[in-house]
Amino acid sequence: MKSFSHHYAEKDFSSLIIINFFFIVFFAFLSNSNLISGDIREFEIGNNIKDIPNFRYTNIKCFEDGKKIKYWKNYKRCNKNSDGLYYISFEYNDKYAFNENFEGTQVAGHPVKINLGINSYDLLSKINVSTDPTAPFYFKKQAHLFWLRIYAKFGSDNWTCENFEKKNNHLIINKKYVNKSCYKIYNNKKITYKTQFYFTNDRKKENLTSSTTMSISASSS
């Protein structure tokens, strides 16, 4: 007789993938214009960070040390990274959410963490997005599916992918091991993502790895 955890992993995760495939594709088309106009909302590689309205965002701070800076224009109060960029993180301001579906820092329904790399000329040079590992388990289960949102935004063709070798303590879900990194050049930008979906050691929900990270930068960087 299968354990509850094993039954949950094999049955519920199978239906979850099917359901959320349609959910994410559907959401991608219905997202408001702020979510689809730039690379992420109104953030676009090459744009001036000072042109982004501050009031729509909150908890703006230096990514490395957590120093609060409050306004985009204060980004140089952060330490410059080894790649020559200043990195800041932030959250969406729920006060200006259109409805409850847009509350929290989310991209296409996925709770995320975002940080920006800004060069010395105020230009946005890098956008890093990762599914939020502290989100409720319901969201964590589907975090690996964020790659569907990336494909909906940047297209499903011309990706170069590397599939990583399965480790001995990684347990496959739904007969497929998901642990890969992909990139493509799109409109003079380099889009990179990594997605993972497996259990480690045993099939307990606390041992689930389900995540996606994405990076957008100028193709020359």
Two structure tokens written together for 98 = 């259109």
Residue 28 binned pLDDT confidence (cut-offs 50, 70, 90): very low
- Any residues with CB less than 8 A from the CB of 152 and at least 6 apart, and which? 24, 25, 28, 29, 108
**Which percentage of the chain shows pLDDT scores above 90?**
66
Question: In the chain, count of helices (H) and strands (E)?
Answer: 5, 10
Residue 219 binned pLDDT confidence (cut-offs 50, 70, 90): confident
pLDDT score of 197: 97
Summarize the confidence of residues 182-201 as an average pLDDT: 96
Residue 56 binned pLDDT confidence (cut-offs 50, 70, 90): confident
Return the number of other C-beta atoms located less than 10 Å from residue 217's C-beta: 20
pTM: 0.80
Cα(38)–Cα(20) distance, integer angstroms? 24
pLDDT tens-digit map of 102-128? 567 888 788 999 999 999 999 999 999
